[in-house]
Structure formats: C-alpha cells, structure tokens
Amino acid sequence: MIIVIQCIDQVGLVAAISGVLAVERLNIVSLREHVDKAENRFFLRVQVETPSHPLALQERVQQALAQVLPVDATILVNPMPSKRIVVLVTKEYHCLADILIRHYFQSLNATVLAVIGNYNKLQDICARFEVPFYHITHEGRSKADFEQAIGEIVDGYDPDYLVLAKFMRILSPGFIAGRVGRIINIHHSFLPAFAGANPYRQAFERGVKLIGATAHFVTNDLDEGPIIAQQIIPVSHSLTAADMMQAGKEIETAVLARAMRLVFDDRVFVYNNKTVVFE
C-alpha cells in the first residue's frame, strides 16, 4: 500500500505519520521524504505492507492522517496502485509500440484502456494487441469539434492519465483544464532548449553536441509543464537532422517509459511547476 503526502513543513511530521501507521499496525517497507526549504514544503512517500483488507483501512488511515497533518495537506492513500490510461497518437509508432508491449507483459503498472489517433496509421498494431483504437481526424473540422470528439471517448473510459505518445497536436486550455496533472507528454528535446516544433532541425542548425528527450506534464504553456524525466545522448557534426531524429526515437521511448513508471508508482509530486521525484 502506498501513501503520498504533500503539505507545509513543520517539526514532527514524520513522527506523527509514523505514529498513525503504528496505531494501525502497518509495517513500513520504505519511506522517502524531502523538504523544499525555499518553499517550506514537505513531501513524503511511504510504502507499507499491504493489509488483508486494504479498502476497509484506507478511509480510516486517511482520516487519522488528516488529524495530525497541517490543514493544507494533500493525502493519497492508494491500496490499488495500478493505473488506467488512454494513449493519444499521430503517426509515429515507437513510443506506442513500447507501451503496448509493456502492457501486454503486464510490466507497465497500468492498463491501456484505448488508443486515440488523429490518423489511422497505428490502428493495426493496436488490433494486434487487442487494444481498442479510435480514429478521430482533425482534418476538415474545427479544433473545438476535434477535441470534443476526443474528450467524449476519454471521458467514457474515465482514465487516471492521458499519455501523449508522439501526439502532434497542441491541446487547447479548455481540454487541459479538467485534466491538469493527468496528461503526460514526451517532447523530443532536452527542455527548455528547442521547445515547440521541429526540435531536431533546431538542434542541427544550432550545431549542438547533445540531444535529448523530456517527459513532462502538459499545461497551457507549450512544452513548459513540470518535468518528470529527461535524458541526453551525444551527437556529432557528421549527423544530419534526419540522423538526429532517428537517434532520438530510442531516447524518447526510454524517457517516456521511465516517466510513466515514476508517475504510475506515485513517485512524482508537483508543486509550482516543478516536480519532486523519488526514484
């Protein structure tokens, strides 16, 4: 069972939390905590041995923790950590293929409920893994109509998270508003460098010696949401922009996979457009 807490920092928080768990005879397996001194903010993730009746215990622990923590505390007691996700795609297959394989072998710590694409190019691979695919074209329709059609499908599945696996459309503030903190995107550059479109072309023209990928939560500010995970690889003058793009696909896949693992394991805290990540 996982418990995650975020609140104003004050003396005695760890002792108070441990006391609640001791009363409920919950054995602590691991405990990670961090204090952001500049923001006076406390973050904690604790894993306890799962009790025989976790659902019956969840509300009691939640209430007991609320009584000993500051009034602003965000408390999540999550006895069933496997998440439910919907994936949005365009044409590129590499990130989606990795997600589907992990889903098939049950190593994703999440269930892929459906895939939505604005092209039908990736429908076949979804069929091979028996995952529902919905083709919602953006062509010949307004942005509002396009997003409404996507939103109706998403809301029908009620997922914990949306994963943008190379979904090459900019989402509107209205679509994001009801899903803040629940949309994960993979961007093909080491943000904040080369935000926006064609980052490999930008990197090539700048003559960089490193390229990277960034997984982040989506906000209204394009490619400026809280960063979950990043990684870089070296490149040289001998590579073309197309070569960089090909090399970047592997790192994009790896970074998105790492970010999903961290988020789905409840290891990521968001505060003031930054993250605290307990690896």
Residues 209 and 222: their CA atoms lie apart, in Å, by 25
Omega of the bond leading into 192 within 30 degrees of 0 (cis): yes
Q: 69 is written with which tokens?
A: 């923590």
124 is catalytic: no
Backbone φ and ψ of 165, nearest 5°: -95, 75
Residue 105 CB contacts under 8 Å (≥ 6 apart), including other chains: none
What 3-state DSSP class applies to 7?
strand
Q: How far is it between the farthest Cα atoms of the chain?
A: 63
Residues 275 and 226: their CA atoms lie apart, in Å, by 6
Q: 176 is written with which tokens?
A: 């994001």
- Which of 72, 145, 155, 223 is flagged as catalytic? 223
Residue 144 CB contacts under 8 Å (≥ 6 apart), including other chains: 172, 174
Residues involved in catalysis: 223
